[in-house]
Chains A and B, each alone.
Chain A
Amino acid sequence: MRKICAYFISLAVILPWNQAFGQKEPKLPDTVDIPLKIRAWIEVAGPVIYLTDKNNLSCEGYLSADLNEKIGVFAGGGYANYKYSQYNYDYLSSGKYFKAGVDFNLMKPEKSIGKYWAGIGIHYGLSSYLTEVPAFSHENYWGKITSSISEQKRIGHFIEFAPGFRAEIFKGFTIGWAVTLRKLISAGTGKDLSPIFLPGYGTGNKSLSTGINYFLIFSFKYKTIKVEVKPEPVDETEEGATPPTQGGTTISR
């Protein structure tokens, strides 16, 4: 008798919960509409840094286009003008650079819905720049020597990995940021006169360079695609954990 009572109590407690959960759980649509966009990017960290450091100007702008819900192509360029001075040398570098590559959105389409982006960009960079050391001094046993290295035109190139996040704040306007990790392929100089600053890359005498970019992005939709929503695969462990109801019925046995 006690067992029968326990059985009914269990059912009374468990069934409404199951129904409630069943009702609350939203049914995922089979497809989701993803707007594919063309975007115009402006990098804002460079000009902001220039307000505090007049020796370091960097302006970048890009265009990108979504190919599908995951992949977008990206191209653009910028201009940098860098001056550095310390007790034993002065250094100047300025030039244009070009970057192009692919951005991969790692978010699920039903979560990104064309508004959010979290992923990684892989870009190739080409920098055409002028480098000059107007004066440097070196001192040793024989005394102090002052010399200079005349202006030279160089072409360098690098690969950039840019993981980051972007979110559409309101229609057609997105903000975002990316941490950039760049690998120098060639600075275009010999090993003795590596550039202290390579436009678009950063510290040119190091094989790795890092940075942070903040973007303001203006976009417009050129196409909408329907993307199938794939259901999450159910783990076996979850299946094992699901039946508290069975656990309830077990009590009644």
Chain B
Amino acid sequence: MKEKIFHFLASLLTGILFFTISCTPGSCFEETNTYVKAYFYSSSSGKTSAPDSITLYGLNKNSDKIYNKTVKKQPASFPLDASVPSCTFVLRINGIADTIAFIYTSYPHLISKECGYTFYHSIDTPVYSRHQIKKITLRKNTITTLNEENMRIFY
């Protein structure tokens, strides 16, 4: 019995030793950016439906597009500006433009020692124009690095 305990102890020590050596800090492999992940839905059928093309950019940043006539994009990711409490995007779905404004609070979040800090956001229901967009519903108002559905855009 004693020998078994010693063998167990020796194995445990060796295991922890290898674990310690193998866990030295390395590079950042995690997602560091947070996005509002928006899924597109058909307003007629209520089912997911990626548009034929979308173009997305920040208001007054039309030379710097996030998506430029991107085909069948699902979901669309909206990066928020953590330095201000709101930001507005221009979203062109199948050639027809709408604006979506987000109002939110931002707070820092530690990703990991290797990656450092990012900003998480807590958003309110977005304000939007209704040229192509019929309705926007908020599914999860905490915006993190996780891959989850935050918002539904019906068009």
Contacts and interface: CB of A to CB of B under 8 A. Distances in A.
Partners in one complex: yes
Contacts, number: 84
Contacts of B44: none
A237 interface: no
Interface stretch (A2-10, A20-28, A47-55, A132-140): A132-140
A141 interface: yes
Contact of A141 (B20, B79, B110, B117): B79
Interface in B56-91: 58, 64, 66, 79-83, 87
A138 B110 CA distance: 11
A245 interface: no
Nearest to A180: B16
B110 A145 contact: no
Contact of A203 (B13, B66, B83, B113): B113
Interface string B3-19: 00110010011001101
Given A181-B16, A211-B20, A106 B79 contact: no
A86 B119 CA distance: 18
A129 B112 CA distance: 19
A138 B6 contact: no
Interface of B: 2, 5-6, 9, 12-13, 16-17, 19-20, 23, 32-33, 58, 64, 66, 79-83, 87, 107-110, 112-113, 116-120
